[in-house]
Amino acid sequence: MRITWLLEVADQLWGGVKVALEDANWLQQRGHQVTVLSRSGPPSWMKLACAFRTVQDFRPEHLPDGDIVIGTFWTTVPWAASAGETKGVPVHYCQGYEGDNPENVKLRDRIEAAYRLKGVEHVTISKNLTNLLRDHFGIEAKQITYAIDHEVHRPGPERRPGSPLRVGLVGPYQIDWKDLATGYEACRLAHLAGQPIVLVRATNTTPAAAEQNTPFPVEWHQQLPPAQMGDFYRSLDVFLGTSRGAEEGFFLPAIEAMACGIPSVLTDIPCFRSHGDGRGEDHYAMFVPPRDPAAMAEALIVAGRVPEVRATLRREGMRTASRYTRDCHGTELEAALQDFVNARQSRNRQTKAMPTAAPTERSALRLVEPTSIDASTVVNDLLQRLRREATQFLHVQQPEPAARLLAAASCLDPDNTDLQRQVAEARHLAGDHAGALAIYDALSQRGIDDEALHAARGHVLHALGAMAEAAQAFRAAIAVGRRTADAYNRLGVVLFQAGEVAAARQSFERALVLQPNHTDASANLAALPAA
């Protein structure tokens, strides 16, 4: 397969970025043709086996032709979805749901819109994410086993707890929902209770001011290369995971610490509970309520000091972590991607080859037999049935058969322009953006000049990656229709993607003049680079 990965940044050491790059390397080594595109430069902390290119944006002209194009963050999913047929099946590789992040409140509508894009396949890496996508969006995602590097994350000799107790805390303090502040407070309470503590911190960001002046010592490890993280974990007596809710998708450090044989204290959230094997025996960690520093402090002391508890957590943690292997993860991801490619090829074959059986002699004779049935009645009944069945397919999110049924209906009623618009919309939803554009262009050539037609052309051109043409279509919609905040906001989006930042800024500002509380326009304006 020819596989393209879209990464906003590849040179920053985040867990999701690391996994994506490791996957790209693994797939390349399996014989696939893999290219990573990023707005940043390549990583300095790992060697890439696949092709890498730095791009200004992810417009189709910057993407190689391929079989699969993968968006790894919500901002890259629309680019994958609009890349076009020749760039590959658009896939969303979901390692966490960004919409539950309190920092993304103003962006939630845009995030949810990205998740609801038609024609996108979804891959998840944990049961809680699979359930979330199904419950929130009706998405049936392919779930694959996540992976850690067991050569790096291997158990050392069983440790006798030291004094002070070495408690590991990993991640950026600045991300609110990681809730490292509660971890600090738990260590402070344990310290006040007479348990000597040294907090062993690993972070890829600058320590926050709130992390200073603690009553216990802090041992700092900043920007540790992935190859050194095993040594970091093996130096600990206890690992502490403090995330507080559904925002956490998997949290690799918890599994990595378990693989190194380190007893773990984790918050009782879906992410951490999903690491088990479904047997109902969650002895791989001590679970505590989120945002409860007192319970967390008590658990740290028990996990760090009680020999029987330490032995159980070490044994069960290593057993749990043993399921997350690179080869298992890679083969499941490879199989999922191949299934997506096979499904598209099958749909394309069905679309191109719609067999029509030749009438038998008996059926042919029936066609010329006298009948008292009014032909117009038969046509009308068939027309209504085709449209009714198409509506049912659209209701269950199957636009391809709906488009075929509506096209058949249009043959029976060729002068019905509303029906032709429905055909075009269904083709657009099915991913046949070029076919939809051809219908809209034909309607335009017939003299139809209304807001709905121009806006529909704009959406299709946007999906095809023709941003300048899409902007012209949206301008035409504004010229002949209502000047609404929504209209100026969608124009601003395509202008920005066309590289016209100043014009995009004017459109977002015009939207806010018309509707000062327009959430998307406010968020889009704030996201623009400084003038």
Asked if residue 357 is part of any domain, the answer here is no
One domain for residues 317 and 187 = yes
CATH number of the CATH domain containing 78:
3.40.50.2000
Asked if residue 261 is part of any domain, the answer here is yes
Number of domains present in the structure of the chain: 4
pLDDT (tens digit per residue) in 397-406: 788 888 888 8
What integer pLDDT is reported at residue 445 of this predicted model? 85
What φ, ψ does residue 26 adopt, rounded to 5°? -60, -45
What integer pLDDT is reported at residue 354 of this predicted model? 59
User: Distance (Å, rounded) from C-alpha 24 to C-alpha 27?
Assistant: 5
CATH number of the CATH domain containing 500:
1.25.40.10
What integer pLDDT is reported at residue 531 of this predicted model? 56
Ranges of the chain with pLDDT below 50: 280, 356-371
One domain for residues 61 and 196 = no
Residue corresponding to tokens 């995030």: 111
What integer pLDDT is reported at residue 277 of this predicted model? 63
One domain for residues 299 and 196 = yes
Look at residue 92 and give its three-state secondary structure: strand
Locate all alpha helices (DSSP H) within 481-518, ordered by sequence: 485-497, 501-514
Boundaries of domain holding 426: 374-436
Terminal CA-CA length for the chain: 41
One domain for residues 207 and 171 = yes
One domain for residues 274 and 243 = yes
| Number of Cβ within a 10 Å radius of residue 116 | 12
DSSP for 173-204, please give it.
TTSGGG-HHHHHHHHHHHHHTT--EEEEEEES
| Number of Cβ within a 10 Å radius of residue 158 | 10
One domain for residues 389 and 455 = no
Residue 287 CB-density burial (10 A; 0-12 exposed, 13-18 middle, 19+ buried): middle
User: Distance (Å, rounded) from C-alpha 74 to C-alpha 92?
Assistant: 8
Asked if residue 66 is part of any domain, the answer here is yes
One domain for residues 382 and 236 = no
What integer pLDDT is reported at residue 358 of this predicted model? 46
What φ, ψ does residue 478 adopt, rounded to 5°? -65, -40
Chain-wide mean pLDDT for the chain?
A: 87
Asked if residue 339 is part of any domain, the answer here is no
Token duo for residue 88: 């590959």
Asked if residue 495 is part of any domain, the answer here is yes
pLDDT (tens digit per residue) in 472-504: 999 999 988 888 989 999 999 989 888 888 899
Of 257, 289, 321, the domain-final residue: 321
Asked if residue 159 is part of any domain, the answer here is no
Of 280, 305, 321, the domain-final residue: 321
Asked if residue 135 is part of any domain, the answer here is yes
From the list 426, 417, 476, the residue with the least C-alpha distance to 450 is: 476
Q: Which helix (H) or strand (E) holds 386?
A: helix 375-395
One domain for residues 16 and 137 = yes
3-state secondary structure 10-74: CCCCCHHHHHHHHHHHHHHHCCCEEEEEECCCCCCCCCCCCEEEECCCCCHHHCCCCCEEEECCC
Residue corresponding to tokens 């040294």: 198
Asked if residue 100 is part of any domain, the answer here is yes
One domain for residues 176 and 205 = yes
**222 Cβ partners below 8 Å, 6+ apart?**
202, 203, 204, 206, 207
If you ran DSSP here, which 8-state letter would residue 359 be given?
Answer: P
Contact predicate 78/117, CB 8 Å: yes
Read off the pTM.
0.59
User: Distance (Å, rounded) from C-alpha 328 to C-alpha 322?
Assistant: 11
**3 Cβ partners below 8 Å, 6+ apart?**
24, 27, 32, 33, 34, 35, 66, 67, 68, 69, 70, 88, 337
User: Distance (Å, rounded) from C-alpha 55 to C-alpha 76?
Assistant: 13
What integer pLDDT is reported at residue 220 of this predicted model? 95
User: Distance (Å, rounded) from C-alpha 154 to C-alpha 401?
Assistant: 51
Task: Order across the sheet with 238-241: list the strands.
Answer: 218-222, 197-203, 165-170, 238-241, 264-267, 286-288
Of 414, 436, 458, the domain-final residue: 436
One domain for residues 184 and 299 = yes
One domain for residues 382 and 506 = no
One domain for residues 395 and 418 = yes
3-state secondary structure 396-441: CCCHHHHHHHHHHHHHHCCCCHHHHHHHHHHHHHCCCHHHHHHHHH
What integer pLDDT is reported at residue 15 of this predicted model? 66
